Amino acid sequence: MPQLLVRNVEPQLKARLQQRARKHGRSMEAEAREILRNALRNEATSAVGLGTAIHALFREEGLEQEIPEMHGAGVQMVEFEP
């Protein structure tokens, strides 16, 4: 399995990593892997815009009309009466 070496880590950062690893019952190495895994997972999921995600969900539904893009459209607040 590939390895990653991180040099010149600030002492405070190392101490925080040790503390976090202890809190989760893991080694510092395992904690660092988990942090990297979560950071990259979140990055991958947010790389797709909402419109692209909706398009992918309904791609096979057979929409026959083009939907115009609405860049810069204003937002109007909705008021509900009690």
Domain range list for the chain: 9-45
pLDDT in tens, 16-73: 999 999 999 999 999 999 999 988 886 666 567 788 888 888 888 877 788 777 787 8
In Å, how far are 5, 59, 66, 67 from 63, measured between CA atoms? 50, 8, 8, 9
Rounded Cα distance between 12 and 32, Å, is 15
Please tell me what DSSP assigns to residue 5.
-
State both tokens at 37: 């895994």
pLDDT at 44: 60
Q: What is the mean pLDDT of residues 5-21?
A: 95
